[in-house]
Amino acid sequence: MKKILLLTSAVVFLCLSGFAQVNTDSLALVNKISELQLKMGKLQNTIAKRSNDKQDDSLHASQSAQANVTAAATLNANSQDQKDARAADNAAGTAKSDARKARTSADKLNDTNKQIADLQNKIFIEQQKLAQFTHVVFTPVPATNPVLPDSLQHD
């Protein structure tokens, strides 16, 4: 009788320890999915600001380029004027700086969109792993913020 009780308790212990392992694994996956979703949410909250920064910087770059064209035309009309030369040089420097800021803003927006897409893929992969434990089928979630096309890229 003691042997049967000991054997039964050993089988129950092995079953419970196996169940506990599955439960721990699924909880770890849920925790990882939650962390990834939190990161993605934080990134999605920055999309509007980065889009506005990109538009503002692009506008400043366009205005600086136009000012540079005007200063260069003025210098071209009177190439010996030192004041016009200095103004053209300053306008060129400002246009170069503003163009760099515009490119940086566009790159930041593109990087943020790429990071969001990568996180969505990671979340989907982790949900598929979790589906093995829960038998729930997860479908990929489309991006809540559409990826905005980069208007600064040229073919």
pLDDT for 114 equals 97
pLDDT for 2 equals 47
The tens place of each residue's pLDDT in the chain, 155 residues long, gives: 444 433 344 444 444 444 445 577 788 888 999 999 999 999 999 999 999 999 999 999 999 999 999 999 999 998 899 999 999 999 999 999 999 999 999 999 999 999 999 999 999 999 988 888 776 665 665 555 555 555 555 44
pLDDT for 25 equals 79
43 close to 119: Cβ distance less than 8 angstroms: yes
Query: pTM here?
Result: 0.68
Indicate the SS3 state at residue 144: coil
pLDDT for 6 equals 38
pLDDT for 143 equals 56
pLDDT for 146 equals 53
Contacts 24+ apart (CB under 8 A), 86-95: 91/64, 91/67, 92/68, 94/64, 94/67, 94/68, 95/61, 95/64, 95/65, 95/67, 95/68
pLDDT for 148 equals 54
Q: Which one-letter DSSP state was computed for residue 151?
A: T
Kindly tell me the burial class for residue 74, based on how many C-beta atoms sit within 10 Å of its own C-beta (0-12, 13-18, 19 or more). middle
151 close to 116: Cβ distance less than 8 angstroms: no
**Structure-block tokens of residue 83:** 């004041």
pLDDT for 27 equals 87
